[in-house]
Amino acid sequence: MAAAEPATTTTTTGMGFLGLLSFRRTATAVASFDPAQDGAELAVLDALQAHVADRLAALSSFCPAGAVLSLGFLSKLLDAVVTSDAAFREALLAVGAAAVSRHPADRLAADLLDRAVRALDVLNAVSLALASLRGSHRAALAAADCLLLLPAGNGGKPHRAHFARARRAISRLFPAAAAAPPSTPCSSRAARALSFSVSSKNWSSSSSSTGGAGRHVAAALPMPQGLTAAPGAGCGLGLALYTMSSVLAFAMWALTAAVPCPASASAAPLAPPKQAQWAAPMALLQDRIVEESRKKDNNNNNNNSKKGSSSSSSSSSSGLLAEMQAVERAARELNSLLEEIAEEEEDDGDDEPAAVGEDRAADVVERAEALAGACRALEDGLAPLERQVRAVFHRVVASRGEVVRCIEQSARSTAAGPASAGAPAPPQHHSF
């Protein structure tokens, strides 16, 4: 009876946590399991998995079928990153700094630190992309205002001069279709890459000040290695580190897919392991984003094949952001109508500016109003998203600093142990 008690305790401890997460109980996993973790610590670690799973599931049900990457979706995604980071830091404090130096948590902690630096680069690139969206918004709004805010002396009807100004404004919305190569887009904005007042040589944000660097940043953000490749990573702090690293990588990939960075959603991160609680909703979101990117590529190819390279609105420079796609779609429809009117007037051979007919003018005003409405929807959500990107930047910096502090504290404790054991006893000073 006495010999059977240790086996019963080991089985209950191992299966209580590993069985809950449906992980296969291997000898390596059991050996790496920290027996000092009590039920409260394991509850905090499991709460992180449940929290991430719930937030990703809410994101899966939030986005409508037609538009995945909207401003509202990105706002909820960044909020999920912040709340998941809060749950991760709570788990880190519950386990203790000493657990970070144990294998495999030490390797996964180093991976998270590296991924955090790359995420800061992505956030800088996304900030620049959001700033460039404001330029696109101004160009589209100027095109609509040319046709809606007409002088009273013209009888309230647009003529060819207004159409020409509107077409010039729309051409600025699609710089990729210009004859000149896009060598230095938004150079003034690129000069002020958003470092958010964080000065550290570890942040390579200066390399992301141009759009081309964003592609390399996103390409350097693969998902962490699977749990099967990290013995014991399914236990304790290792799984928490892996979870936070995966959430961070997925969020950065989704951001670069949404905003018009050159780092678009060309390839999804590796699928998360099926054993994780949050694997199914994350894989579902990945599939939906990839499918939306594929549909957009097919639409662009169809437009190019139908219109050819002569149309300035046939190519799109934006990402998958739903509101920006609505602006571009309304701008294309307006530009197509203006081109038809211009061709009709060229056939007439009239060199004098003339007003268009009532029906044509009504069509122009209707499409200009649709473009103005799309611009308002973009403007309403753009500023809050920029603030959230800044907040996530600061959050990643703080979380990375917390992990570094735990690693340094664990290293000091490890170094102080042997030194204190081998040091001679201090002399006894007696006062009489």
Band of pLDDT at residue 126, cut at 50, 70 and 90: very high
- The answer, yes or no, to whether residue 192 has pLDDT greater than 80, is no
Band of pLDDT at residue 275, cut at 50, 70 and 90: confident
Q: Mean pLDDT over all residues of the chain? A: 73
Band of pLDDT at residue 74, cut at 50, 70 and 90: very high
pLDDT at 413: 76
pLDDT at 109: 92
Q: Is 356 left (phi over 0), alpha (psi -120 to 50) or beta?
A: beta
Percent of the chain residues past pLDDT 90, beyond the cut: 31
Band of pLDDT at residue 430, cut at 50, 70 and 90: very low
- The stretch 182-205 carries a mean pLDDT of 38
- The answer, yes or no, to whether residue 200 has pLDDT greater than 50, is no
| 3-state SS record for the chain | CCCHHHHHHHHHHHHHHHCCCCCCCCHHHHHHCCCCCCHHHHHHHHHHHHHHHHHHHHHHHHCCCCCCCCHHHHHHHHHHHHHHHHHHHHHHHHHCHHHHHCCCHHHHHHHHHHHHHHHHHHHHHHHHHHHHHHHHHHHHHHHHHHHHCCCHHHCCCCEHHHHHHHHHHHHHHCHHHCCCCCCCCCHHHHCCCCCCCCCCCCCCHHHHCCHHHHHHHHHCCCCCCCHHHCCCCCCHHHHHHHHHHHHHHHHHHHHHHHCCCCCCCCCCCCCCCCCCCCHHHHHHHHHHHHHHHHHHHHHHHHHHHHHCCCCCCCCCCCCCCHHHHHHHHHHHHHHHHHHHHHHHHHHHCCCCCCECCHHHHHHHHHHHHHHHHHHHHHHHHHHHHHHHHHHHHHHHHHHHHHHHHHHHHHHHHHHHHHHHHHCCCCCCCCCC
Question: Exposed e or buried b for every residue in 386-412, given b needs 16+ CB within 10 A?
Answer: bebbeebbebbbebbebbeebbeebee
- The answer, yes or no, to whether residue 117 has pLDDT greater than 90, is yes
Tokens of 421: 């054991």
- The answer, yes or no, to whether residue 403 has pLDDT greater than 80, is yes
- The answer, yes or no, to whether residue 51 has pLDDT greater than 80, is yes
- The answer, yes or no, to whether residue 204 has pLDDT greater than 80, is no
* Most confident listed range (223-227, 289-293, 347-351, 415-419): 289-293
What does the alpha-carbon distance between residue 375 and residue 136 come to, in Å, rounded to a whole number? 9
Q: Name the more confident of 252 and 6.
A: 252
Q: Name the more confident of 422 and 30.
A: 422
Question: Exposed e or buried b for every residue in 281-317, given b needs 16+ CB within 10 A?
Answer: bbbebbeebbebbeebeeeeeebeeeeeeebbbbbbb
* pLDDT tens, position by position, 284-321: 999 888 888 888 877 766 665 655 544 444 444 567 89
pLDDT at 154: 58
Q: Name the more confident of 1 and 104.
A: 104
pLDDT at 66: 61
Q: At what angle do helices 211-219 and 236-258 cross, to 10 degrees?
A: 150
Least confident among 18-32, 50-64, 104-118, 160-174: 18-32
- The stretch 227-241 carries a mean pLDDT of 61
